[in-house]
Amino acid sequence: MLGRRADQRGFFEADVQYLDVVGEDSFYAFLASLRHEVFRDEDFADFYAEDGKGRPSRPPSMLATALLLQTYDRVSDQEATERAAFDLRWKVALGITIEERPFAKSTLQLFRAQLVVHEEGARIFAKSLALARARGFVPARRRMRLALDTTHILGRGAVKDTYNLLADGIVLVLRELARLAGSEHAAYAAARGMGRYVSARSLKGEAELDWDSAEERARLLQGIVADADRLLDAVRAQRGELSAGSPEDARLTQAAERLGQVLLQDIERADGGAQLRQGVAQERMPSVHDPEMRHGRKSAQHRFDGHKAQIAVDTESQLITAVDVVAGNAPDNRGALDLVEASERDAAAEVSETVADCAYGDGATRQAFADAGRTLVAKVPVTRNGACFPKTDFTIDLDAERCTCPTGQQGIACYRRPTAPGERRVLRGFRFRAEDCTACPLRPRCVRGRGGRTIAVHPQETLIQQARALQVSPDYAPYRRARQAAEHRLARLVQLGIRQARYVGRAKTRFQLLLAATVANLTLLAGHARAAGGTTPPTPSMTLLSAL
């Protein structure tokens, strides 16, 4: 049954008795001032029985506030429970009495699980934007300029090499088969000659072989692959005895799919037996315990294993207006338009233009924004051509379909062959005559090999030319400064702990990011409230004081 907090503040509650001790300008006091304004118990009624029977739950508005405090102080569930029981600052923020112990660790964990399952993290985040509108932090009818950026999130699962990754996958399948057989998984594995996978902390580390010997390494790998194949055959036989779609069938299938994915991504089958795949598969899963983790890169030198956080920031107010979590190997510009549309929906303000770095400067992303009637300002990646003249040293006039080289020679326009009758011809590029290039004194700096120079025309050449013209003009300076807003907000989110995922899976990691973004916005509003004259919550009614 839904537990509710009283609409009226009690005289003995910590936010009334000890506000001056904690500090009226603190974030804890600011949260105390938001009671019944951001979170209401009715907002979470869907989580509880509607018949009014049973013992009332802990008020969900208080638990939601506790999750924000946990994010702000970066503490574990156990520490959050202890702070709610003994930390005066938390008691002020939660609005409870000094002797109250408001919830158990399991209560907080169950409430979070409900929020994740029902995807309520986005609604909690949207409340920070609604509060900003209500308090005039985002003026009505103001058009927003958004800045987009990404940062990496290290995954929760342990990253292992192929030997131990296969061993972990085998253990997952052994556990499910043992559960179905009503046996303890260690005994089940030992009876089938696979006890080493369960008993070893690291199969590779405890293997007794000469690692300098290719033959011994191959023998170990082929033995592991043979065991994995044998287990997958056992899974197929066992699934024939289970009801399709049953919970047991779903768990067994999931474990087998993870093991099968490791075999597919890391093992090559050859006449001589199984061997390690050369190179890294594009969608390689580095951990069976968090199968949504991926190998990612933020630069040529910076590699990570996990996910990517995407954010959109209103450059004027510095509010985070939208967030998302994508695969670690996904390009930074994936879902850029979705972030813009989510920002307009949750901030209830129109986006006038979007600013981003060169990761968003590709032609396809520019075209998507143009097709949606939106403005994207992103730096065009630098074009390089080794020691030769890059394409940008040539003057391309698309309207006249003319291309001029650095020495003034004119190229010949080339077109794509129409694929349908009546189709408009499309400019594909330009080629320069071989005789002109041969006689040119700049040929060594322009042409490689024989023949003349060719210049390709990008499908979004017009948009790219416009972007290049802007970024070399004085008008680009404000956009360069505006983009820093996203970098500053990412730094704040990292302070709130998003560099390391606290949970397994992308959905839970997104929930972590949403809570961090909510806290980042609320701390920004708290600072604004201090500048405007304080965050002191209302005192108990005179009726209550008279009664006392």
Which tens digit of pLDDT belongs to each residue from 450-475?
Answer: 889 999 999 999 999 999 999 999 99
Cβ neighbour number for residue 359 with a 10 Å cutoff? 18
Indicate if 65 and 137 belong to the same structural domain.
yes
Any idea what the Cα angle at residue 403 is, between residues 399 and 406, rounded to 5°?
140
- Assess contact for 165 and 286: CB atoms under 8 A: yes
Q: Which tokens belong to 377? A: 């300002």
Indicate if 513 and 488 belong to the same structural domain.
no
3-state class (DSSP) for residue 97: strand
- Residue 64 burial by Cβ neighbours in a 10 Å radius (0-12, 13-18, 19+): buried
Q: Which tokens belong to 293? A: 């983790």
Which helix or strand (DSSP H or E) is residue 308 part of? strand 303-314
Band of the pLDDT at 428, cuts 50, 70, 90? very high
In this prediction, residue 56 carries a pLDDT of: 64
Interatomic CA distance for residues 183 and 478, integer angstroms = 67
- Assess contact for 261 and 291: CB atoms under 8 A: yes
Direct distance between the N- and C-terminal alpha carbons of the chain, in angstroms, rounded to an integer: 31
* Domain contains 373: yes
Q: Which phi and psi (to 5°) does residue 62 adopt?
A: -70, -40
Q: Is the pLDDT of residue 538 over 80?
A: no
Query: Regarding predicted confidence, which is higher, 448 or 522?
Result: 522
Q: What is the largest CA-CA distance in the chain?
A: 103
Q: In what order do the strands lie in the sheet with 412-416?
A: 412-416, 426-431, 454-456
- Assess contact for 404 and 394: CB atoms under 8 A: yes
Among residues 276, 303, 323, which one ends one of the domains? 276
* Domain contains 150: no
In this prediction, residue 137 carries a pLDDT of: 82
- Assess contact for 125 and 518: CB atoms under 8 A: yes
Instruction: Encode pLDDT of 80-116 as tens digits.
Output: 999 999 999 999 999 898 999 999 999 999 999 999 9
Indicate if 306 and 324 belong to the same structural domain.
yes
Indicate if 488 and 346 belong to the same structural domain.
yes
In this prediction, residue 544 carries a pLDDT of: 32
Interatomic CA distance for residues 546 and 548, integer angstroms = 5
Indicate if 489 and 511 belong to the same structural domain.
no
Q: Which phi and psi (to 5°) does residue 117 adopt?
A: -60, -40
C-alpha torsion sign, points 155, 158, 162, 166: negative
Indicate if 430 and 538 belong to the same structural domain.
no
* Domain contains 391: no
CA distances from 435 to 302, 308, 388, 456 (A): 46, 51, 19, 20
In this prediction, residue 539 carries a pLDDT of: 44
**8-state DSSP, 48:** S
Indicate if 266 and 312 belong to the same structural domain.
no
What's the domain range around 221? 162-276
* Domain contains 148: no
* Domain contains 463: no
* Domain contains 288: no
Amino acid identity for residue 254 in this structure: Q
* Domain contains 315: yes
Report which of 505, 182, 517, 504 is spatially closest to residue 347, judged by C-alpha positions.
Answer: 517
Cβ neighbour number for residue 491 with a 10 Å cutoff? 10
Indicate if 361 and 324 belong to the same structural domain.
yes
Interatomic CA distance for residues 138 and 129, integer angstroms = 9
Question: How many separate domains does the chain show?
Answer: 4
Report which of 356, 353, 351, 300 is spatially closest to residue 332, judged by C-alpha positions.
Answer: 356
Indicate if 312 and 452 belong to the same structural domain.
no
**8-state DSSP, 59:** P
Amino acid identity for residue 346 in this structure: D
Residue pointed to by tokens 């790219």:
464
Indicate if 346 and 474 belong to the same structural domain.
yes
Which of 47-61, 127-141, 142-156 has the largest mean confidence? 142-156
Interatomic CA distance for residues 449 and 407, integer angstroms = 19
DSSP-assigned letters across all residues of 141-198: TPPEEEEEEEEEEE-SSPP--HHHHHHHHHHHHHHHHHHHHTS-HHHHHHHTT-HHHH
Any idea what the Cα angle at residue 203 is, between residues 201 and 205, rounded to 5°?
85
Residue pointed to by tokens 């408009």:
424
- Assess contact for 149 and 537: CB atoms under 8 A: no
Q: Is the pLDDT of residue 249 over 50?
A: yes
Beta strands in 45-110 (DSSP E): none
Which helix or strand (DSSP H or E) is residue 434 part of? helix 434-439
Instruction: Encode pLDDT of 192-240 as tens digits.
Output: 999 999 988 888 888 888 888 989 999 999 999 999 999 999 999 999 8
Indicate if 451 and 523 belong to the same structural domain.
no
Beta strands in 350-411 (DSSP E): 351-356, 376-378, 395-397, 402-404
Looking at the chain, the whole-number percentage of residues with pLDDT higher than 90 is 68
* Domain contains 394: no
- Assess contact for 10 and 97: CB atoms under 8 A: yes
Q: Is the pLDDT of residue 251 over 50?
A: yes
Indicate if 166 and 208 belong to the same structural domain.
yes
